[in-house]
Structure 1
Amino acid sequence: MTGMAQIRIARRVLTECIAAIAFPILLISLLVFPVASPVVAETDRSRGRWCGAETMPLKPSDNSWAQWVSLRLRSRSLWRTDLPVLVTAALLSALSLLVAFFGFIGAAVLVFSPVFWLLGIAAQVGPFTPDSVGQTFLAVPAGVILGSVTTAVLTGTSFLRDLFQRAFSRGGDPDLLAKLEELRTSRASLTAAFEFERQRIERDLHDGAQQELVAVVMRLGMLEAAATSAATDRERVVRLAREAQAQAERALERLRETVRDIHPRELSDLGLIAAVRELAARSPLRVELTSTGDDSQLSSPTATAVYFTVSEALTNIAKHAHAGVARVDLRCTTTDVHVRVRDDGVGGARIDAGSGLAGLRERMRSVGGNLDILSPPGGGTQVSASAPGQPPW
C-alpha cells in the first residue's frame, strides 16, 4: 500500500470517528432539517474531497453560509439531495459510533491486557476474561486483529458515504448535474476564446503598429543620414520627415484601434448606446441603428458583453455575409438589455464554426445572459443576445 493510500485511509477513519462524536448533533439537526440539510450535505462533500473522492463544492467561495443556505432553501435540491444526505449521515454516524466505541476500546483492552494483569486487573472484553498471564499475552494479537477489523469497517462506512453521496447527486438532482456540466463546458469554451483573443491582439500588434513603427525607425535613420551628409538636400530631408511623421501617425492609429478592440473608451465614458452608435459609424457597412431606453443602470460587465457581441456580429457581416446593409436594434431597460443584429446576406453562419461567436456566447452566459443565432442558408443572419442589467454573481 502506498503512502498516499495509507494517508487517505487514515483520513477516512479519522472522519468517521469525528462523525461518531458528532452523532448527537446530527440527531438534533434532524429537528431543524431545512436549515441543517445544506450545511451537513456541503460538509459531507468537503469530507469526501479530503478523503480523495471526486466531489465538487456547491457553495461559492464568495457567498456566506447564511446566503447560500437561504438560496438552497428555495431550491428543489434541498429535498432531492441535501435531506437524504442528512438522514444517511445520521444513520452512518450511529453505525460509526457503535463500531468505533466497542471496536477500538475492545482492541485497546486486549492489547494492554498484560499491563492490566500486572496491575491486578483482569480486563474483560465481551465473554473473554483472562485467567493467567499466558492468556493476556494471547489477547494481544487478538486486539491487533480487532483494531484492524474496526479500521476496515470504518473505512468501508466512509466509502458507503461516498456511494450515497454520488447516488443522491446523480439520481435525485439531474438539474444540478446539468449545471455542473454546463460550467465545465463554459470554462473550456472561455479558455479557448481568451486564447483566441490573445492571439488576435498579438497578431494585430505584430502586423499593424509594430510594422509601422519599424518603418518609422527606418525613415528616421534615412533622415539622420540625409541631414548629416555633406551635400544636404533640404527637400529630401523635409520629405523624409513628413513620411516619418505620417508613418508614426498611422502606427498611433493602429495602436488606438487595437486598444479600442480590447475595451473601447466610449463604452466607459459615454455608455453602451453611445459606444454602439460610434461602432456603427466606424463600420464599413451601412448600419441602421435603433436604440431605446436608458443604459445608465447597466453594469460594466454586461455593457461590455453586449458591445462586443455587436462588434463581432458587424465584423462577421462585413467579412462573410456579402450583405448590403446591417440593422442593429438595441433596447435597454432598468432590469435588462436586449440586442439584435440582422443582415440580408448569404446566411449559413454557425455558432460553433469559429471561436469568435462561441466566445461571445460564453461571455454573455458569464453575466447571466444568452446568445442565439438564426442563419438559414440564403436567408441572412440574425444574432440575438440578452442579459440582466446586473450579473447574478
Structure 2
Amino acid sequence: MVTMPQINVARRMSTELLAAIALPLLVLGILAVPFSAAAVAEVDRTRARLCGMDATALQPEAQTRPRWLWRRARTRSVWRIDLPVFIGALILSVLSLLMAFFGFIGAVALVFSPAFWFAGIPAQVGPFTPGAWWQSVAAVPVGAALGAVTAGLLVAVSVARNLLLRAVTHRDDPAQRARLEELRASRAALGAAFEVERRRIERDLHDGAQQELVAVVMRLGLLEAAAEGTGDERMTTLARSAREQAERALVRLRETVRDIHPRELSDLGLIAAVRELATRSPLRIELDGKGDDTLLAAPTAAAVYFTVSEAVTNIAKHSGSDLARIDLRFSGGAVRAAVLDEGAGGARIDEGSGLAGLRERMRSVGGDLEVQSPAGGGTLVVATAPGSDGEEWA
C-alpha cells in the first residue's frame, strides 16, 4: 500500500523534474522581471502546497492571472518576497537539472549495464567502463544506489525551496493573513453600511424635514401677504421675519443634506457631484475629469467626493490661494483624484487631523491618501482607490 510519505516524496521528485525542464523559461523570465518573479513565486506557492507546505495562494479567485500579475508587479512585495523566490528557483532548478541529468542517466546506464554488455555496447558512466561481464553485473546495485541518492538529492532541493519560501514569507503567517483579510472585509462592509445609512438619512431629510420646511416657508409667505392686506405693520414685520428665518433654516438644512450625501453623487455620478461642488466654492476651480465614473462603487465614490470636498475647504481656509485644480481619472472601476493648489503648503497628515481621517476613509474602501506639501510650494492631495475587480493605480 502506498503511504502519504511516499506520495509526498513522489510529488517532490516530480516537481523538481518539472522545474529542471522549465529552466529555459526561468532564464527567459529574467527579461521580464518583476512580472516573471510574481508568476514564479505564485507557481512556487502552488508547488509548496502540493508538497505538504502550508502556503496560501495570493491571487484572488475572481481575478485573472494577467490582471493580478500587473497589480502584483507594482507592489513592494514583488521585490521583498517574489524576487528572492525567483532567484532561488533559478539556482535550485539548475541544481535539479544537473542532478537529474547526470544522476538518473548514470543510474539507468549502470542498472542496464549487463544488457548493454551482452549487446556489445559497454556502458560508460564517468570514469567507469565495465571490462568484464561480472563488472557490468556488479554495476547494477551501484546504479540503484545512485538513483536513490539522486532522488534523495532532488527531495533535498525541494525541501530547500520550501525553506526559502518560508524564510521570505515568514511575516505572512496564514492565520494572521486570514485575520487581516477578515478585518479588511469587515471594514469594507462597515463602510458600505455606513454609506447606506448616510443615504437613508439624506433621503429622509430631503423627502421629510426639507419638504415640511418648504411648506412652512410657503405658509409664512401667505401669512405675510395676509398681514400686509390688513395694514398691521407689527404683524407684517413678524411674519416677514419668521419667513426669512425659515428660509435661512431651509438653506442650512439643504447644505446639511448635501454634506451628508449629495444627491448629484447618487443621481449623476462623481464628476457631476464634484462639478457642482466647484460651483458652490468661493475658489476658482479648474476641473478635469476623464474616464467612466459609472463603474465606481457607491462607498468609493462617496469617499473620493468627501476627500475632494475637504481638500477644497482646506485650500479656502489655509492655503491663501484662490485657485484650485481638480483632476479625476477613472479606469475599470479604479479612481485617482488629485487636488492641487499653489498656496502656502506645509500640510501634513498628523494623527487626529482631518487629513488623517480622510486617509482612513480612503483606506476603508481599499484605497489610500497621499499629501505632498512642501513649505511655500503648494499642496497636492492624491486619493486613489482600486476597482471591485482589483485594478488599481500605481
* TM-score after normalising by structure 2: 0.52
Query: What RMSD, in angstroms, separates the aligned Cα atoms of the two structures?
Result: 4.7
1:129 maps to 2:135: no
Kindly tell me: are residues 182 and 106 of structure 1, through their superposed partners in 2, closer, same or farther at Cα, counting changes over 3 Å? closer
Partners of 2:11 and 2:146 in 1: CA distance: 19
1:39 maps to 2:34: no
Partners of 1:389 and 1:90 in 2: CA distance: 33
Question: C-alpha displacement at 1:389, in angstroms?
Answer: 11
SS in 2 for 1:62: coil
Match for 1:161: what amino acid?
R
Kindly tell me: are residues 367 and 144 of structure 1, through their superposed partners in 2, closer, same or farther at Cα, counting changes over 3 Å? same
Partners of 1:131 and 1:334 in 2: CA distance: 83
In structure 2, the partner of 1:104 is 104
In structure 1, the partner of 2:70 is 70
Question: C-alpha displacement at 1:184, in angstroms?
Answer: 2.4
Partners of 1:83 and 1:186 in 2: CA distance: 24
Q: Gaps (5+ residues) in structure 1?
A: 195-262, 282-287, 307-330, 339-363, 371-386
Match for 1:152: what amino acid?
G
Partners of 2:62 and 2:107 in 1: CA distance: 45
Partners of 2:386 and 2:104 in 1: CA distance: 59
1:184 maps to 2:184: no
In structure 1, the partner of 2:321 is none
Question: C-alpha displacement at 1:35, in angstroms?
Answer: 2.1
Partners of 1:115 and 1:72 in 2: CA distance: 54
Q: Deviations over 1:44-66 (max 9, x none)?
A: 11111111111111111222222
- Could you tell me whether the CA contact under 8 Å between 1:335 and 1:390 is conserved in 2? no
- Could you tell me whether the CA contact under 8 Å between 1:302 and 1:389 is conserved in 2? no
Partners of 1:161 and 1:90 in 2: CA distance: 11
Question: C-alpha displacement at 1:145, in angstroms?
Answer: 0.7
In structure 2, the partner of 1:155 is 155
In structure 1, the partner of 2:277 is none
1:166 maps to 2:161: no
Kindly tell me: are residues 91 and 277 of structure 1, through their superposed partners in 2, closer, same or farther at Cα, counting changes over 3 Å? same
Q: Deviations over 1:154-200 (max 9, x none)?
A: 00101101111111123xxx5xx389725425539989xx9xxxxxx
Q: Deviations over 1:331-353 (max 9, x none)?
A: 94664699xxxxxxxxxxxxxxx
Partners of 2:86 and 2:56 in 1: CA distance: 17
- Per mean C-alpha deviation after superposition, the further-off stretch among 157-166 and 22-31 is 22-31
Question: C-alpha displacement at 1:368, in angstroms?
Answer: 3.8
- Could you tell me whether the CA contact under 8 Å between 2:112 and 2:140 is conserved in 1? yes
Kindly tell me: are residues 168 and 17 of structure 1, through their superposed partners in 2, closer, same or farther at Cα, counting changes over 3 Å? same
Partners of 2:385 and 2:79 in 1: CA distance: 29
Kindly tell me: are residues 335 and 102 of structure 1, through their superposed partners in 2, closer, same or farther at Cα, counting changes over 3 Å? farther
In structure 2, the partner of 1:142 is 142
Q: Deviations over 1:14-37 (max 9, x none)?
A: 111111111122112112222211
Question: C-alpha displacement at 1:369, in angstroms?
Answer: 8.5
Kindly tell me: are residues 43 and 182 of structure 1, through their superposed partners in 2, closer, same or farther at Cα, counting changes over 3 Å? closer
- Could you tell me whether the CA contact under 8 Å between 1:368 and 1:391 is conserved in 2? no
Q: Gaps (5+ residues) in structure 2?
A: 210-252, 271-293, 309-361, 369-383
Kindly tell me: are residues 367 and 180 of structure 1, through their superposed partners in 2, closer, same or farther at Cα, counting changes over 3 Å? farther
Partners of 1:88 and 1:389 in 2: CA distance: 32
- Could you tell me whether the CA contact under 8 Å between 2:367 and 2:386 is conserved in 1? no
Partners of 2:84 and 2:105 in 1: CA distance: 31
Q: Deviations over 1:138-167 (max 9, x none)?
A: 111111111110001000101101111111
SS in 1 for 2:34: helix
- Could you tell me whether the CA contact under 8 Å between 1:37 and 1:82 is conserved in 2? yes
Kindly tell me: are residues 136 and 159 of structure 1, through their superposed partners in 2, closer, same or farther at Cα, counting changes over 3 Å? same
* TM-score after normalising by structure 1: 0.52
In structure 2, the partner of 1:15 is 15
Partners of 1:60 and 1:18 in 2: CA distance: 25
- Could you tell me whether the CA contact under 8 Å between 1:367 and 1:392 is conserved in 2? no
Kindly tell me: are residues 388 and 127 of structure 1, through their superposed partners in 2, closer, same or farther at Cα, counting changes over 3 Å? closer
Kindly tell me: are residues 35 and 2 of structure 1, through their superposed partners in 2, closer, same or farther at Cα, counting changes over 3 Å? same
Partners of 1:389 and 1:3 in 2: CA distance: 47
Partners of 1:369 and 1:140 in 2: CA distance: 65
Question: Moved runs in structure 1, 4+ residues, more than 2 A?
Answer: 177-191, 270-278, 288-292, 297-303, 331-338, 364-370, 387-393
Question: C-alpha displacement at 1:119, in angstroms?
Answer: 0.8
Match for 1:97: what amino acid?
L
